[in-house]
Amino acid sequence: MINGKQQGFTLLELVMVITLVAVASIPILGQFSQASSILLTDEIIQTAAQLAQERAEGILADRRSNGYAAILTGTTSDALTGVYSSYSRTITVTSPPGGSGCAVGASCKEVIIGVDHSGRTRAQLTFILVDY
């Protein structure tokens, strides 16, 4: 006690502080919800990129083992199973038109690998195979 008076907060002051803290915390809690949604989207995109890379490495291994002619033009889809069953992967192999970066006298095939999740394209990988 100082000068015979008690020092401290009244009940009304405490209620006001609690109300202000509650109102101020609403936008902060909304940010946590948004952050978790963004993290899930980032995880989906990362997984899709890894699935595209995996298929690209398989195509390059097939070319090394069986030759350039083994990579046929056309569009195919891979059936993904297990934890990846919500993803779909499409591989399109075309003979690109002249002037598309293919060396003179060489034969080229453009490979496009697309990975979709829930109907949206989440990753796309494009490269050119060359037969000298």
Residue 123 is assigned to a structural domain of this protein: yes
Select the highest-mean-pLDDT range: 17-21, 105-109, 113-117.
113-117
Residue 119 is assigned to a structural domain of this protein: yes
Tens-digit pLDDT profile for residues 72-81: 999 999 989 9
Q: How many domains does the chain have?
A: 1
Residue 6 is assigned to a structural domain of this protein: no
Residue 99 has what pLDDT? 60
Residue 19 is assigned to a structural domain of this protein: yes
- The pTM (predicted TM-score) of the whole model is 0.73
Residue 124 has what pLDDT? 97
Domain containing residue 74: 11-131
Residue 2 is assigned to a structural domain of this protein: no
- Judged against a pLDDT cut of 80, whether residue 100 lies above it is answered with no
- CA distances 54 to 14, 74, 125, Å, are 59, 19, 11
| Candidate from 37-41, 43-47, 57-61, 107-111 with smallest mean pLDDT | 37-41
Rounded to whole angstroms, the Cα distance separating 56 from 128 reads 11
